[in-house]
Amino acid sequence: MSEDLSGRRIAHYRIDGVLGRGGMSVTYRATDVRLGRKVALKVIGEHLAPDAEFRERFVDEARNTSAIDHANIVPLYDFDEVEGLLYIAMRLVDGQDLSGHIKEGPLTPARTLMLLAQVAEALDMLHGKGLVHLDVKPANVLVTQKEGVREHVYVADFGLTRRGATGHRTRTGDFLGSPTYAAPEHLRGEPVDGRTDQYALACMIFACLSGRPPFQGGVQEVIAGHLGSVVPALSQVVALPPAIDDVIRKGTSKDPAQRYANCAELVNAARVALAGVAQSSAPAQLGPQSGSFPAQSPVSGPMPVQQGQYQGGYQQQLQDPVRLRPPNQVGVSAFTSSNKKERPAWFAPVIAAVAAIVVIIIVVVILSPGDEPARQPKTSSAPSLNIGEETTSKKPLPTSVPVRTSR
């Protein structure tokens, strides 16, 4: 989708600028003019609108997301079609996706556990409703701060989410998803459930602690690794206790029945394994650093399993071929490109209070009376009578004056 809709209006949304682009959609920063709030508006390419299969997938994404109410899942506000344009309006999240954090280097064990515990909670809730995300990966985990307390996680992109489904492919057999974190049953098109997302989450634990996904290389190498190879021992890549190898190995078992009961149990097992180093700094690299790959052009359209190269998205070095996902990042954030530092929440109220105090003082000074003039001694208005002087009054003087004696 090449046309930039910035400055235009779709329904009651004014498009303010591009947040990210993908082969199938563009996500814009937009304003809901009815409610006056900022949103992330995902607009699907016009060339895909006539595709019945794609439209069905689009409606599924909107309905699945709108039915979910969880603190760690990006809320969906609205979806519709206007003049041949399909769109989804969702919360504008101010933050950076997890892949951007991993690109900066391995995360500390404590931070990894704190972030992925939130992802696990969201996924378990999703699985409890009979849904499977099917595209769990760092690029679909948005990290922000909520109320300045701690980093808060939002799981995004439910474009592949299914209820009681098999590993998702198009009718032509193309695989839809990210092979980098895909479970074997997903790649083979077999029945999937919550343990499929758990496999991807275990791969994310590996990526967060090592700075790279467990299997790397071209598409065929990555898929072959997930289908037939054991995930490398993390303790041989970074300086971590060997107990974490057993946790990741169980979470990425080729047989879903051998994995943990749920995602929270996986993260709790990792917490126990890392108990001795949970508060330490990022683990030191033991092997050669292979988390970066040469930049490649993004791929548009669905990717057949047997074709193509391991190509990138989200402007990350951990590059994935992905379909129907949040578009490639523009700037530093998956959903926002603003780099401005916001003032603390208390700043505006304090300034307003100081201004009010100054105004009150000025008013008091202006309205207070000035210094009173010195009072003059009172003079009697009654006429005085001086003995020996004539009075001009023609009124006769009283012949007697009553005298009050004091006792």
- Structurally, the chain folds into a number of domains equal to 2
Report the pLDDT value the prediction gives residue 211, as an integer from 0 to 100: 95
Same domain for 46 and 17 = yes
Interstrand relation of 150-155 and 131-132 (parallel, antiparallel or unpaired): unpaired
Catalytic residue among 135, 157, 197, 320: 135
Query: 87 and 187: one domain?
Result: no
Report pLDDT digits (tens) over 258-305: 999 999 999 999 999 999 886 666 666 665 443 333 333 333 333 333
pLDDT of residue 213: 96
Place of tokens 């709108």: 66
User: Would you state the pLDDT for residue 356?
Assistant: 85
pLDDT at 330: 33
Domain end point (choices 326, 348, 374): 326
Residue 142 and residue 50 share a domain = no
The model scores a pTM over 0.75 = no
Q: Is 42 annotated as a binding residue?
A: yes
| Structural domain of 121 | 97-286+295-326
Residue 135 annotated in active site: yes
- The most distant pair of C-alpha atoms in the chain lies apart, rounded to whole Å, by 141
Q: Which pLDDT score, from 0 to 100, does residue 22 have?
A: 67
Q: What's the pLDDT at 370?
A: 57
Name the 3-class secondary structure at 100: helix
Q: Is 364 inside any structural domain?
A: no
DSSP per-residue letters across 296-322: -PPP-S-B-TTSS-----TT-SS----
User: Are 216 and 309 spatial neighbours (Cβ–Cβ below 8 Å)?
Assistant: no
Mark whether 258 and 305 lie in a shared domain.
yes
Verify that 228 and 312 share a domain, yes or no: yes
- Say which CATH number the domain at 79 has: 3.30.200.20
User: Are residues 316 and 179 part of one domain?
Assistant: yes
- 103 φ, ψ to 5°? -60, -25
Compute CA 194 distance to the chain's CA centroid, rounded to the nearest angstrom.
23
What six digits make up the tokens of 162?
């299914």
Residue 212 lies in a domain: yes
Q: What pLDDT does 354 receive?
A: 83
CA distances from 192 to 60, 65, 196, 242, 302 (A): 17, 19, 6, 30, 20
pLDDT of residue 54: 72
Ranges of the chain with pLDDT below 70: 1-2, 22-23, 47-49, 146-149, 159-177, 278-345, 369-407
